[in-house]
Structure 1
Amino acid sequence: MERRNAVKQIAGTKHLEIFADEQDLRNNIEALMKEVRPLWKSAEIKIKVFTNGITNKLVGCHVDQDMEEVVLVRIYGNMTERFIDRENEVKNFQILHAHHRAPELYCTFQNGICYEFIKGTVLDMWLLRNPSIFRLVAKEMAHFHSVEPENGYSSEAALWKSLSMYLTLLKSSHSEPAAGVSSVDNMNDMPSFDILVSEIELLKEHLSQIKSPVVLCHNDLLCNNIIYIEAKGDVKFIDYEYAGYNYQAYDIGNHFNEFAGVSELDFSMYPPQEMQVEWLQSYLEVYKERTGSEPTVTEWEVQKLYVQVNKFSLASHFSWGLWALLQSRYSTIDFDFLRYARERFKQYFKKKDEFLALQFSC
């Protein structure tokens, strides 16, 4: 563990010059809690390591048996700073907290953040399909998307810039040593680099004509990032490291893709049209109200968004496929990123013609 005495403010949030070494986790946690929860006795601090994350290591810290107060410590994954803007993550966290869409951010440290734990039920693939819950998710996303940009905050869609960055990193990664057991050189059954480039160009040309609004998006709304608070009849989204301004339809399409799960992908769980229509109806009712539009939702508006969402779901497959290739090169997390990339690209090509052919009347 590396620690200096300097404590500074970064973007209005306390920053600690502490580096959390996973090999010395206990001492690291105690040092962080000394600053974040100074009244906690070090010997009484209990640590729970969560295993759901495939980007970072997440640790819960508490002193009471009932876990009434928990501080979450997220230790950033190896080399993730190459494709995640951590300063932007902190800014998004603050903006969302100010709009009651995110928990409190306690501090940042050299390779992570500490923040408030939201007590509730983490959704799974089956809860995600429960009508009473998916309506809550749709409404919460509408609230998320209606957050106004801060002064000086770029509201340009991040999708094409992100895909270009992934391609650049992927190309350069061939000459670097791999951190994990996998390598992007082992790309059997994977699209060639030239095919990846040409498919992105095709997607950009097609999707740019759709004119989906650019809004503040979560961009990573898998089931583990949604907390159901049953007592309040509410849901909250967590983990904002990929959040930023992006296409409305991309965020929703990405979420629909996540109905397939993470560890064992099952794309037969992708929501059917009837479920999507109900979800989109709930979403538009709140989104139009929050953005000052006529509150009545027409069948044409639902159908238009349905077409946009399914088309942009293709870009989601492509984005996470490239991301997984990079993770296979750099991540030290025990997860088969290459298999995940193969499955995402396979689904992209399976649905490509069907979704690109979808049309709505103007």
Structure 2
Amino acid sequence: MGVVEIWDAMEVAEEARENGTSDIPSSSLTVDIKLPLPQMKPKIIGLCKDIFKNWSHLDDSCFSVETVSGGITNLLLKVSVREDNGHEVSLTVRLYGPNTEYVIDRKRELQAIGYLSAAGFGARLLGVFGNGMVQSFINARTLSPSDMRKPKLAAEIARQLCKFHQVQIPGSQEPQLWNDIFKFLEQASVLNFDDSEKQKKYDTISFEKVKNAVVELKDLTDLLNAPVVFAHNDLLSGNLMHNEDEEKLYFIDFEYGSYSYRGYDIGNHFNEYAGFDCDYSLYPDKDAQYLFFRHYLQPEKPQEVSEEALVALYVETNSYMLASHLYWALWALIQAKMSPIDFDYLGYFFLRYNEYKRRKEACFSLAQTYLARSGSG
């Protein structure tokens, strides 16, 4: 283990104390996310025994470990344990991807997760360790991008998001969106790649133009006075789970969560309709958006939402949708340099940035017309 990893592991327990989760068991152990599952399994078992002392005497054969999902920032494992009484207990171990601290504030995540869990969102936090956390296992299937477009599920996501946005997280409620984007911009604009082809592609980026785009969009959205809420900020299909039998929807993975603008969280979610193939022709049309807005604004009486409220949220969402493209474009550049995961992050930058440029004129025109009519511009 490197010096930085040792230092991070030592800080786990201290962070838990600072964030009011001191009753959560912690371990200084780390597990290398790059290990193949057969080599990782004994380390995961050792970790579970270290965190949960009542399992320390169990034979390793009482544990089974399987991969649930491997995203581009995390690895999710299901651990099943056969206890002395014959009962089987399942939990989830989440390993953070290497270098994700460049784009994710783990202290912020750890603070929020306890409050969100208490409000009924996500899995319960059961333990923390050097490079990850242990949570309760959710018995549900992960949604696909096409699921999110189904009217019944879209309405339920909207209702749940309304409740999510009402959760109060202690501390500063200053929106972090533009702070994060400017931080990403600063980091992304000074990269150097060992791969000459990557460097050649990177050198075609005009960061002056990107910065101007960020400033121009911030100035426009500031005029909308969008409500500030604690936002999920990464509500893609992989972070939505559904139990059909119980008809229960779960939001998971709050690592990008922060106080932000209501319209950003919704616009970012709508961008994820494009799915893993990034087919932005699947972005929801006005009717689909209005269905979502009705169930978000008045979950109990969706048909009573006024046209004025629908128009306002439509403008807000489709303005901040552009910010989502800029955020993830800059995020991708940092990942292109820092992440060991085999993914074309550099290509993803151009995909998101080009979609921003394609949609910009229509979205700016929509917002400027609305502001002129409402006397806010």
Please indicate, yes or no, whether the TM-score normalized by the shorter chain is above 0.5.
yes
TM-score, normalised by the number of residues in structure 2: 0.85
1:16 aligns with 2:51: no
Structure of greater Rg: 2
Please name the residue that 1:337 is paired with: 345
Tell me how far 1:280 sits from its aligned partner.
0.5
Residue type at the aligned position of 1:86: R
1:238 aligns with 2:249: no
Distance 1:301 1:184, change over 3 A: farther
Aligned residue for 1:100, secondary structure, equals: coil
CA distance in 1, matches of 2:88, 2:127: 20
1:204 aligns with 2:218: yes
CA distance in 1, matches of 2:88, 2:132: 23
Tell me how far 1:44 sits from its aligned partner.
3.1
CA distance in 1, matches of 2:249, 2:282: 21
Tell me how far 1:108 sits from its aligned partner.
1.2
TM-score, normalised by the number of residues in structure 1: 0.88
Tell me which of 35, 43, 60 is aligned to 1:28. 43
Tell me how far 1:33 sits from its aligned partner.
1.3
1:285-304 correspondence to structure 2 within 5 Å? 285-286=298-299, 296-304=304-312
Please name the residue that 1:347 is paired with: 355
CA distance in 2, matches of 1:90, 1:229: 26
Tell me how far 1:194 sits from its aligned partner.
1.2
1:314 aligns with 2:332: no
CA distance in 2, matches of 1:183, 1:71: 43
Deviates more, 1:1-10 or 1:270-279: 1-10
Aligned residue for 2:363, secondary structure, equals: helix
Residue type at the aligned position of 1:32: L
Please name the residue that 2:289 is paired with: 276
Aligned residue for 2:94, secondary structure, equals: strand
CA distance in 2, matches of 1:288, 1:162: 36
Aligned residue for 1:126, secondary structure, equals: helix
Distance 1:34 1:342, change over 3 A: same
Tell me how far 1:149 sits from its aligned partner.
3.4
Higher helix share: 2
Residue type at the aligned position of 2:45: E
CA distance in 2, matches of 1:183, 1:42: 47
Distance 1:212 1:6, change over 3 A: closer
CA distance in 2, matches of 1:245, 1:15: 27
1:73-88 correspondence to structure 2 within 5 Å? 73-88=93-108
Contact 2:12 2:129 in 1 (8 A): no
1:63-212 correspondence to structure 2 within 5 Å? 63=81, 69-150=89-170, 153-174=171-192, 185-187=199-201, 191-212=205-226
What are structure 1's unaligned runs of at least 5 residues?
290-294
Q: How many residue pairs get matched?
A: 348
Deviates more, 1:182-191 or 1:348-357: 182-191
Distance 1:325 1:188, change over 3 A: closer
Contact 1:145 1:217 in 2 (8 A): yes
Tell me which of 317, 325, 334 is aligned to 1:326. 334
CA distance in 1, matches of 2:136, 2:258: 21
Identity %: 32
Aligned residue for 2:241, secondary structure, equals: strand
Contact 2:78 2:93 in 1 (8 A): yes
Distance 1:96 1:29, change over 3 A: same
Contact 1:52 1:224 in 2 (8 A): no
CA distance in 2, matches of 1:285, 1:59: 37
Tell me how far 1:14 sits from its aligned partner.
2.6
Contact 1:173 1:329 in 2 (8 A): yes
Tell me how far 1:148 sits from its aligned partner.
2.2
Alpha-carbon RMSD across the aligned residues, in angstroms, is 2.7
Tell me how far 1:107 sits from its aligned partner.
1.2
CA distance in 1, matches of 2:44, 2:273: 34
Aligned residue for 2:223, secondary structure, equals: coil
CA distance in 1, matches of 2:29, 2:139: 27
Contact 1:107 1:113 in 2 (8 A): yes
Distance 1:35 1:243, change over 3 A: same
Distance 1:18 1:249, change over 3 A: same
Tell me how far 1:161 sits from its aligned partner.
0.4
1:256 aligns with 2:270: yes
Contact 1:143 1:286 in 2 (8 A): no
Tell me how far 1:346 sits from its aligned partner.
1.2
CA distance in 2, matches of 1:226, 1:139: 13
